[in-house]
């Protein structure tokens, strides 16, 4: 059974650009959540999607957005990149009922903004 | 918002020995879940162990066990017979049973296993 797949693994962007990250959840998992991990702030919740609808959103500016497709694959987009957006972005999927049994995480996308 | 505190940024343990990682959390809820995740250099977060707050019995998974003290809001992880492969960052996480799927993570403990 394939795990959570995130692409790309690494990304370097310039300030002001925008970026799109992709996440394919485990087959059968309909909930996809995104987290930002930085040395200073740790792991912070970005948003959660379930059945193509955003169900929950963390405290991030509107430059951070996401969506989920009918096959449960999800993308997150960051517009007008800032240096502080450099981070590891982790995607996690869970079963229909939510993450009561925990998430399954991908290996993340390392975004560097220069 | 709930907060999760891991007061030990770094810990080390001799191979085959036992180590305990600390975690405390702050919540006004009575129903929730607690987790320990491991993040090796490969970056992928791996679920180590899970505890439901309504269960008094401490969870165990092979060499990993927890000491869950609900009144004290404490959730420590004990790793027995430590192995080199246990070296990683360990994160404690909280999830409400009632208010959505969001996890709150601690800042992590970096565990070194000394051969």
Partners of residue B104 in chain A, C-beta under 8 Å:
45
- What is the Cα A101 distance to its own chain's centre? 19
Q: Chain B contact for A30, CB < 8 A?
A: no
Residue pLDDT, tens place only, B61-79: 999 999 999 999 999 999 9
Report the percent of chain B where pLDDT is more than 90.
Answer: 84
CB contact (8 A) between residue B103 and residue A99: yes
Flag whether residue A40 sits within 8 Å of chain B, measured between CB atoms: no
pLDDT given at position A98: 61
Are A107 and B91 inside 8 Å of each other by CB? no
Q: Is A56 within 8 Å of B47 when comparing Cβ atoms?
A: no
Q: How many angstroms away from the CA of A79 is the closest CA of chain B?
A: 23
What is the model's pLDDT at position A40? 87
B96 vs A10, which has greater pLDDT?
Answer: A10
Q: Average pLDDT in the B30-48 region?
A: 93
Instruction: Count the alpha carbons within 13 Å of B109 in the hemisphere toward its beta carbon.
Output: 26
- Buried b / exposed e over A58-91, threshold 16 CB at 10 Å, is bebeeebbbebeeebbbbbebeebeeebebbbbb
Q: How many CB atoms lie within 10 A of CB A114?
A: 9
Give CA–CA dist B4/B77, Å, rounded.
14
A107 within 8 A of B62, measured Cβ to Cβ: no
| Distance, CA of A42 to CA of A88 (rounded, Å) | 10
- B5: nearest CA in chain A? A42
Confidence (pLDDT) at B102: 86
B102 to A45: CB separation less than 8 angstroms, yes or no: yes
pLDDT at position A69 is 96
What mean pLDDT do residues A27-50 have?
Answer: 93
* pLDDT score recorded for residue A96: 63
Q: Rounded mean pLDDT of A41-48?
A: 93
Main-chain phi, psi angles of A35, to 5 degrees: -130, 145
What CA dihedral angle connects A30, A37, B103 and B37, to 10 degrees? 90
Instruction: Reply yes or no on whether the pLDDT at A95 is more than 90.
Output: no
């Amino acid at each position: 059974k394939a795990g959570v797949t995130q692409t790309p693994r690494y990304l370097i962007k310039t300030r002001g650009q925008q970026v799109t990250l992709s996440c394919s959840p485990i087959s059968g998992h309909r909930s996809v959540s995104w987290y930002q991990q930085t040395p200073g702030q740790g792991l912070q919740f970005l948003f959660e999607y379930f059945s193509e609808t955003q169900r929950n959103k963390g405290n991030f500016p509107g430059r951070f957005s996401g969506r989920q497709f009918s096959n449960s694959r999800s993308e997150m987009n960051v517009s007008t990149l800032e240096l502080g957006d450099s981070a590891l972005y982790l995607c996690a999927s869970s079963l229909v009922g939510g993450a009561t049994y925990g998430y399954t995480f991908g290996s993340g996308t390392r975004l560097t903004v220069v | 918002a709930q907060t999760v505190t891991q007061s030990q940024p770094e810990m080390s343990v001799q191979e085959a020995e036992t180590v305990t990682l600390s975690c405390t959390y702050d919540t006004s809820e009575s129903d929730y879940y607690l987790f320990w995740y491991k993040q090796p250099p490969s970056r992928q977060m791996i679920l180590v162990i899970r505890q439901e707050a309504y269960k008094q019995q401490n969870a165990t998974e092979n060499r990993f066990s927890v000491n869950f003290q609900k009144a004290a809001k404490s959730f420590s992880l004990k790793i027995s017979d430590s192995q080199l492969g246990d070296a990683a960052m360990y994160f404690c996480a909280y999830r409400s049973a009632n208010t959505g799927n969001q996890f709150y993570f601690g800042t992590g403990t970096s565990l070194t296993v000394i051969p």
